[in-house]
Structure 1
Amino acid sequence: MTVMSSREFNQDTGKAKRAAENGPVFITDRGRPGHVLLSIDDYRRLISGEKTLADLLAMPSGEDVEFDPPKLSDIGVKPADLG
């Protein structure tokens, strides 16, 4: 998460866009959050309602999330032969 003043944002939008690739950029007006800049991927995920595992675990009831990933052998992945 990055926080920028509106003045910083206006002076270096490229920096804000680069920062948005790593998470939301909060843009403040007089020290108070006024806007949020998101990457298009984050925005699409937000409007789709799609939740990531991290989103689910961050929820207050996150410990109740059922997570049953497939076994690697079931999807054709074999362990590396280090011998």
Structure 2
Amino acid sequence: MTTTTLSSRDFNQDTGRAKQAARKGPVVITDRGRPSHVLLTYRDYERLLGRGVSLLDALAQRDGGDFDFDPPRVEGLVKPADLGA
């Protein structure tokens, strides 16, 4: 993942470049030399919020897109079999 830094002036003059850079990683936008905003793709934003792709949406994809699926671990629902009897 690459982080790109752009001044607010550069961002205003070439938003297309900023959007393209955001596909490779976050874009830090500075105001008077200090970081003030971060531009992310919507997918990265959702991942940051913990709202990944649902299993239903992932299975419905027709383009064969790649996705991360990390279901929560559930403890205590499965008991080991008692084979001693």
Query: TM-score higher than 0.5 here?
Result: yes
Count of matched residue positions in the alignment of Structure 1 and Structure 2: 50
Q: TM (normalized to structure 1)?
A: 0.58
Tell me which residue corresponds to 2:42: 40
Please list every run of 5 or more consecutive structure 2 residues that lacks an aligned counterpart in the other structure. Answer: 53-85
Q: Moved runs in structure 1, 4+ residues, more than 2 A?
A: none
SS in 2 for 1:26: strand
SS in 2 for 1:10: helix
Deviation at 1:21, TM superposition (A): 0.2
Aligned sequence identity (%): 64
CA deviations on 1:6-40 (whole Å, 9 max, x unpaired) are 00000000000000000000000000000000001
More helix by share: 1
Higher CA-based Rg: 2
Tell me which residue corresponds to 1:23: 25
RMSD between aligned residues: 1.2
Deviation at 1:49, TM superposition (A): 6.8
| AA in 1 matched with 2:26 | P
Distance 1:43 1:30 in 2: 25
Tell me which residue corresponds to 2:81: none
SS in 2 for 1:23: coil
Distance 2:41 2:14 in 1: 16
Please list every run of 5 or more consecutive structure 1 residues that lacks an aligned counterpart in the other structure. Answer: 51-83
